Amino acid sequence: MAKRKRHEEHENHERWLVSYADFITLLFAFFTVLYATSQKDISKAREFEQSIRRSFRVFLDFGGVQGGHTAFDENDKPIPPPIDLYPSMGNSASEMEDKVRQMLDKLMGDSEKNEFISDIHHDSIGVAIALASSALFPSGSDQFSEKGLKAISKIGAILKASGKKIIVQGHTDNQPINTERFASNWELSAARATRIVRYLSSRHNIQGDRLVAVAYADQKPIASNDTKEGRSKNRRIEIMMAMGEKNPF
């Protein structure tokens, strides 16, 4: 039986079309990506921006401002903290006083400082900020005034950042008081000091073992009680940031 003649394979001259089609596909994909990236999607960009901000907010919740978080405004834009995240208070009371003054300059305007802060000084115990009671509280009351609450909030940020023990001292003038709530100046001065301590603990998350409230009533005047101006100076709250363990009482 005769063998069939084997046909030679037909050479395909169109194989280049496969490579060409792959090249055209890749080229199309490349220009599609270029086109897509050139078209700015405002909503997508906004969503991406907000996700980045939320990520940084989480970071600050765990690692910033002593466990607190940064504030964001109504447009989800971060509000920079009014003071350094980790301010150095210095190694001496003198350096600490300078730092406190710098922070107050950042947080308060001149008129606000003049209204609320009657003195800043340091001694062997630490740095003290003296506040005018009449600016913080209405007469005969231990409830913050609206402006007083704003002021103590700003000062609270400094007290927290200091990392020091905070001693809040309530002082009054020698004018007697006898109301339903306060039988004497002892109760009034104690209530005001305690009010500030509670605020620092609840609003600024300052640990309780760093806070002390002390009532002096009219026993430590810094001016004469014979004049209206002197009595105004004596009605004060002194907040001490203690440098060490020395007993301030």
Helical axes 185-203 vs 146-162, angle rounded to 10°? 60
pLDDT at site 89: 64
Phi-psi region of 85 (alpha: psi -120 to 50; beta: other; left: phi over 0): alpha
Q: Is residue 12 part of a domain?
A: no
What is the CA 44 to chain-centroid distance, rounded?
Answer: 31
Residue with tokens 């001016």: 223
* pLDDT digits 0-9 by tens, 221-249: 999 999 999 999 999 999 999 986 544 44
> Does 214 share its domain with 139?
yes
φ/ψ (deg, to 5) at 55: -65, -45
pLDDT at site 12: 61
Q: Is residue 208 part of a domain?
A: yes
Question: Taking the model in full, what pTM does it have?
Answer: 0.63
Burial zone of 169 (CB within 10 Å; 0-12 exposed, 13-18 middle, 19+ buried):
buried
> Does 71 share its domain with 100?
no
Q: Is residue 74 part of a domain?
A: yes
* pLDDT digits 0-9 by tens, 60-98: 443 444 444 444 444 555 544 444 444 566 668 888 899
Q: Is residue 172 part of a domain?
A: yes
Give mean pLDDT, residues 193-221.
94
Q: Report which residue type is found at 43.
A: S
> Does 201 share its domain with 123?
yes
pLDDT at site 3: 55
> Does 99 share its domain with 55?
no
Q: Is residue 34 part of a domain?
A: no
> Does 112 share its domain with 229?
yes
Helical axes 93-107 vs 146-162, angle rounded to 10°? 140
Q: Is residue 4 part of a domain?
A: no
pLDDT at site 144: 93
CATH of the domain at 229: 3.30.1330.60
> Does 146 share its domain with 237?
yes
Q: Is residue 23 part of a domain?
A: no
Give mean pLDDT, residues 169-188.
94
Which structural domain range is residue 127 located in? 93-242
Number of structural domains in the chain:
2
